[in-house]
Structure 1
């Protein structure tokens, strides 16, 4: 009887793992590659507050590139593909400290936020690929 339960549990876990693998494989991570123009204040269409993010490498669970200013390398770039979206998170920074950024891809557009502890702000942004 215990052996039957163990076999059933193994079967259930294998199905769950297969389901996650299939869900992840549906996503085209290469959609993240390229130059993204980030509107740092999308609610105000009269300003020119833009930044650039270049994603030049993606893998199963990571991204590499630059964020905000030319030469500021993305650190700890990660990808997650659950819930039918591609999610990303990264660390960047400048002379004022580190920035924690997260985003998701929806309909060819990135929606994200960037948090700076030292500058005491949270920017909500949208980005389109150039």
Structure 2
């Protein structure tokens, strides 16, 4: 009987600990979205370390659910920039475009890097990229 009581108490303590950890992960208010602000060097072909296929993203403003700035080679204005911080992770999506068409981009922030993809229907590609923040 004592062993059963001890085992059930231990299980309850472990469950409460995991539940509290999970609640902390879900706490969106602890996420610092201002980390996105700044100039980002986007490596458009991260699998090839010998090329110079880079773009630039400048995030000038972040709001609770939005971001503004410029993306790609000629400073194309970001449209429809959105931020989501579910599970304590910063996710973002935006629309940009140039004379060749519209680009749909999404990314997430992890340990100082942006991991993203850009999809162009008009140019028929999906680019996977990694962004590093430039020191300002």
Unaligned runs of 5+ in 1: 1-18
- The one-character-per-residue Cα deviations of 1:94-124 (angstroms, maximum 9, x if unpaired) are 1011000000000010000000000000000
Among 96, 104, 114, which residue is 2:118 paired with?
Answer: 114
2:51 counterpart residue number: 47
Among 125, 128, 131, which residue is 1:127 paired with?
Answer: 131
Matches within 5 A, 1:12-23: 23=27
Deviation at 1:23, TM superposition (A): 1.2
Unaligned runs of 5+ in 2: 1-22
2:68 counterpart residue number: 64
Rg larger for: 2
TM-score if structure 1 supplies the norm length?
Answer: 0.82
Aligned structure 1 segments of 4 or more residues deviating by more than 6 angstroms: none
- Whether 1:82 aligns to 2:89 is no
May I ask how many residue pairs the two structures share in their alignment? 111
Quick one: distance in 2 between partners of 1:93 and 1:125? 17
Quick one: distance in 1 between partners of 2:131 and 2:75? 19
Matches within 5 A, 1:96-107: 96-107=100-111
